[in-house]
Amino acid sequence: MSDVLRYSQPGALLVTGLVSIQSVHTADVADLAAILFVANKRPAPAVLELAREKRIVLFITRLTMLDACGVLHDAGLKAAART
Protein backbone atom coordinates (compact mmCIF):
# COMPACT_ATOMS: atom_id res chain seq x y z
CA MET A 1 0.00 0.00 0.00
CA SER A 2 2.92 2.36 0.46
CA ASP A 3 3.50 2.28 -3.31
CA VAL A 4 -0.12 3.31 -3.83
CA LEU A 5 0.37 6.30 -1.56
CA ARG A 6 3.62 7.24 -3.26
CA TYR A 7 2.83 6.68 -6.93
CA SER A 8 -0.93 6.82 -7.55
CA GLN A 9 -2.86 9.75 -8.94
CA PRO A 10 -6.15 11.06 -7.54
CA GLY A 11 -9.17 9.43 -9.13
CA ALA A 12 -7.33 6.21 -9.99
CA LEU A 13 -8.57 2.65 -9.62
CA LEU A 14 -6.83 0.46 -7.04
CA VAL A 15 -6.63 -3.18 -8.17
CA THR A 16 -5.78 -5.40 -5.21
CA GLY A 17 -6.21 -8.74 -3.55
CA LEU A 18 -6.04 -7.19 -0.08
CA VAL A 19 -9.54 -6.98 1.34
CA SER A 20 -8.57 -5.48 4.68
CA ILE A 21 -9.84 -2.15 5.90
CA GLN A 22 -6.37 -0.77 5.15
CA SER A 23 -7.21 -0.89 1.43
CA VAL A 24 -10.04 1.58 1.97
CA HIS A 25 -7.94 3.81 4.23
CA THR A 26 -5.22 3.86 1.58
CA ALA A 27 -7.69 4.65 -1.20
CA ASP A 28 -9.12 7.45 0.92
CA VAL A 29 -5.76 9.05 1.70
CA ALA A 30 -4.65 8.73 -1.96
CA ASP A 31 -8.01 10.14 -3.16
CA LEU A 32 -8.70 7.11 -5.35
CA ALA A 33 -12.07 6.67 -7.04
CA ALA A 34 -12.58 2.95 -6.63
CA ILE A 35 -11.13 -0.37 -5.54
CA LEU A 36 -11.30 -3.59 -7.55
CA PHE A 37 -10.82 -6.71 -5.44
CA VAL A 38 -9.52 -9.62 -7.52
CA ALA A 39 -9.73 -13.41 -7.17
CA ASN A 40 -13.33 -13.23 -5.88
CA LYS A 41 -12.11 -11.93 -2.53
CA ARG A 42 -14.88 -10.29 -0.52
CA PRO A 43 -14.37 -7.57 2.06
CA ALA A 44 -15.88 -7.79 5.53
CA PRO A 45 -18.91 -5.68 6.46
CA ALA A 46 -16.71 -3.13 8.27
CA VAL A 47 -14.73 -2.61 5.06
CA LEU A 48 -17.94 -2.13 3.08
CA GLU A 49 -19.23 0.38 5.60
CA LEU A 50 -16.04 2.43 5.60
CA ALA A 51 -16.00 2.50 1.80
CA ARG A 52 -19.61 3.68 1.84
CA GLU A 53 -18.77 6.43 4.34
CA LYS A 54 -15.75 7.54 2.28
CA ARG A 55 -17.73 7.28 -0.98
CA ILE A 56 -15.25 4.85 -2.51
CA VAL A 57 -16.75 2.48 -5.05
CA LEU A 58 -15.91 -1.21 -4.57
CA PHE A 59 -15.87 -3.87 -7.27
CA ILE A 60 -15.20 -7.61 -7.07
CA THR A 61 -14.05 -9.86 -9.90
CA ARG A 62 -13.34 -13.55 -10.11
CA LEU A 63 -10.38 -12.77 -12.35
CA THR A 64 -6.83 -13.04 -11.09
CA MET A 65 -4.76 -9.88 -10.71
CA LEU A 66 -2.98 -10.59 -14.00
CA ASP A 67 -6.16 -11.26 -15.95
CA ALA A 68 -8.03 -8.29 -14.46
CA CYS A 69 -5.18 -5.92 -15.31
CA GLY A 70 -5.03 -7.38 -18.82
CA VAL A 71 -8.75 -6.81 -19.38
CA LEU A 72 -8.51 -3.24 -18.07
CA HIS A 73 -5.48 -2.56 -20.26
CA ASP A 74 -7.16 -4.03 -23.34
CA ALA A 75 -10.19 -1.82 -22.63
CA GLY A 76 -7.95 1.24 -22.77
CA LEU A 77 -7.37 2.00 -19.09
CA LYS A 78 -3.99 3.64 -18.70
CA ALA A 79 -1.61 3.15 -15.79
CA ALA A 80 -2.08 5.89 -13.22
CA ALA A 81 1.26 5.53 -11.50
CA ARG A 82 3.62 8.48 -11.39
CA THR A 83 7.29 7.79 -11.95
Does residue 81 belong to any structural domain of this protein?
A: no
Nearest to 50 by CA among 11, 31, 23: 23
Q: Is residue 83 part of a domain?
A: no
| pTM for the predicted model, two decimal places | 0.91
Q: Which domain holds residue 41?
A: 2-74
pLDDT digits (tens, 9 = 90+) for 29-62: 999 999 999 999 999 999 999 999 999 999 999 9
CATH number at residue 39: 3.40.1390.20
Digit-coded pLDDT (tens) for 17-38: 999 999 999 999 999 999 999 9
Dihedral angle of Cα 72, 62, 35, 50, to the nearest 10 degrees: 170
Q: Which of 28, 75, 80, 15 is nearest to 55 (CA)?
A: 28
